[in-house]
């Protein structure tokens, strides 16, 4: 693959912009123990996933597909066109927001959405097939939420939530796959389907108001303990394998 095409595929702009970056000496490639400037946009490269190159002083790993794990903080919307809060995509570097898909610059997309006040695990990728598989209700990918409610639990909520509750404007009962109290006002809720404001509506159906909501797991994916709110990381190969198995 030519260097300008590599840069384009990684989200560094149009092919003309990428060619300009190379011609202006802003791209360096590894050579021996150091880096060397490459000013030929048509130079052929044979890159393996994870191989690095440098653009404008920043080292960037080559990935044919981007798989990103983000610890979503509160106060961000999972939308490219947010209504009131900044988008989660503003937490990512420009190349991830500009990666091309099917010839158009679309960037990575979130697999499902979290409300602006919900925190925790969010997977973002430009792999449309994986997004579809993980989001499809047919696959019942479990998602685990840590929930804090305003008032003490009474004790019967886990059984009621697992048996099924009826939500407003939705005649079909919605069931939790698992529900485990973890404190006087805390519980861990596992869902295998996704509906609008589902956790909040389910807890409201049993008489509780949610005041804290954090997604800790999706399938076999867990947030790394050292990934702070607002930070992101490339998904490790073994985590990616588990995500693909869940789908």
Alpha-carbon gap, residue 109 to 26, rounded angstroms: 28
Active-site choice (39, 44, 46, 115): 115
CA separation for the pair 74, 87 (Å, rounded): 11
**Nearest CA-CA partner of 179 in 163, 194, 201:** 163
Query: How many other CB atoms are there within 10 angstroms of residue 93's CB atom?
Result: 11
Helix (H, G, I), strand (E, B) or coil at 211: strand
The rounded distance, in Å, linking the Cα atoms of 91 and 245 is: 28
Candidates 33, 94, 88; CA nearest to 60 is 94
Verify whether residue 115 is a known catalytic residue. Answer: yes
- Would you state the structure tokens that stand for residue 202, as one six-digit string? 């389910």
| Token pair recorded at residue 117 | 């006040």
Number of neighbouring beta carbons within 10 Å of residue 174: 17
Active site residues per annotation: 115
């Amino acid at each position: 693959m030519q260097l300008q095409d590599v840069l384009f595929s990684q989200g560094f702009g149009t092919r003309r912009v990428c060619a300009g970056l190379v011609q202006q000496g802003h791209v360096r490639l590894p050579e021996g123990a150091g880096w060397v400037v490459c000013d030929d946009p048509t130079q052929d490269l044979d890159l393996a996933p994870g191989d690095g190159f440098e653009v404008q002083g920043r080292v960037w790993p080559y990935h044919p597909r981007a798989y990103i794990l983000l610890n979503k903080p509160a106060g961000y919307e999972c939308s490219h066109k947010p209504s009131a809060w900044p988008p989660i995509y503003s937490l990512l570097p420009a190349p991830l927001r500009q990666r091309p898909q099917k010839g158009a610059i679309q960037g990575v997309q979130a697999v499902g959405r979290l409300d602006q006040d919900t925190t925790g695990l969010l997977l973002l990728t430009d792999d449309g097939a994986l997004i579809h598989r993980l989001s499809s209700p047919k696959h019942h990918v479990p998602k685990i939420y840590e929930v804090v409610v305003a008032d003490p639990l009474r004790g019967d909520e886990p059984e009621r939530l697992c048996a099924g509750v009826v939500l407003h404007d939705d005649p079909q009962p919605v069931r939790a796959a698992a529900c485990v109290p973890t404190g006087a006002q805390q519980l861990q809720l596992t869902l295998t389907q996704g509906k609008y404001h589902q956790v909040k509506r389910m807890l409201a159906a049993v008489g509780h108001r949610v005041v804290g909501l954090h997604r800790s797991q999706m399938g076999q994916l867990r947030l790394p303990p050292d990934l702070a709110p607002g930070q992101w990381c490339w998904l490790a190969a073994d985590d990616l394998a588990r995500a693909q198995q869940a789908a």
